[in-house]
Amino acid sequence: MSSEKENIKKEAEEAVAKDVNALADELITETQNQDIKDKPEAAQKKKGIRPAKMVQGMLDGTFLTTGQLSQLIPFIFYMVFLIMLLIANTYYAEKMVRQIEQIKKDLKELRYEQITTRSELMFLSKQSEVARRLNVTGLKESVVPPEKIMIKSTEDSKTNSQTKAK
């Protein structure tokens, strides 16, 4: 019987230990929940990097002291890349504007040259100017108007001669 008493005693001790452990676990979770409720909402949120905080931290310089610099490095590289892209785009646009202005200037000069050359050609191709320039070489302008020379074809003459012979 003593062994039965010992078994019952052990079972009772084990049951008490289980109940104590369960109560302790409940107490721990309750205190943790109460601590979470007592903390401000900002502390409850998962600590993460928010873009607005990053920009604010970069502007006031606190990102250098908080130890979050390693987390901000990708964002910093992204911002530097965007800035370089913006600068390159500005230089490219200015270069294109200068080229357009130069091409407009060249086009204007070529148009003036074309007008001048066309007027010179019209002047030099006038009959009186051609005659005056050829006078120096000894060629003179013809005063006799040109005449048309009509050659009758051989077939036409054969048909005409055959019709006349009949």
For 148-163, what is each residue's pLDDT tens digit? 999 888 766 566 666 6
What is the average pLDDT value for the chain, to the nearest integer?
81
Name the band, by pLDDT with cuts 50, 70 and 90, for residue 1: low
SS3 at position 151? coil
For residue 161 the two structure tokens come to 């001669």
pLDDT at position 34 over 80: no
Q: Which pLDDT does position 44 carry in this prediction?
A: 46
Report yes or no on 76 lying in a domain: yes
Query: Is residue 94 assigned to a domain?
Result: yes
Domain that includes residue 89, residue range:
70-138
Query: Does some domain include residue 83?
Result: yes
What per-residue confidence (pLDDT) applies to 40?
57
In a domain, 87, yes or no: yes
DSSP 31-86: HHHHHHHHS-HHHHSPP---HHHHHHHHHHTGGGTSS-HHHHHHHHHHHHHHHHHH
CA distances from 91 to 48, 85, 94, 95 (A): 38, 10, 5, 6
Count of domains observed in the chain: 1
CB 123 within 8 A of CB 129: yes
Region of residue 61 (left: phi > 0; alpha: psi -120 to 50; beta: else)? left
Can you read off the two tokens belonging to residue 19? 């109940």
Q: Tokens for 22?
A: 């369960």
Average pLDDT of the segment spanning 143-149: 88
- Mean per-residue pLDDT, 124-147: 87
Planar angle of CA 13, 19, 20, nearest 5 degrees = 85
User: 2 in a domain, yes or no?
Assistant: no
Mean pLDDT over 128-147 rounds to 86
Calculate mean pLDDT across residues 93-117: 97
Average of per-residue pLDDT across 15-21: 75
Whether 26 is covered by a domain: the verdict is no
Asked if 63 and 69 count as a contact pair (C-beta separation under 8 A), the reply is yes
Q: Chain centroid to CA 81: how far?
A: 14
Count H helices and E strands in the chain, helices first.
6, 0
What tokens appear for 118 in the block?
Answer: 């066309």
Q: Which residue has the higher pLDDT, 77 or 17?
A: 77
Instruction: Look at residue 158 and tell me if it is in a domain.
Output: no
Q: Looking at the domain assignment, is residue 15 inside a domain?
A: no
Mean pLDDT on 6-13: 76
Instruction: Identify which has the larger pLDDT, 102 or 17.
Output: 102
Which three-class secondary structure state does DSSP give residue 150?
coil
Q: From the CB of residue 85, how many other CB atoms can be counted at a distance below 10 Å?
A: 10
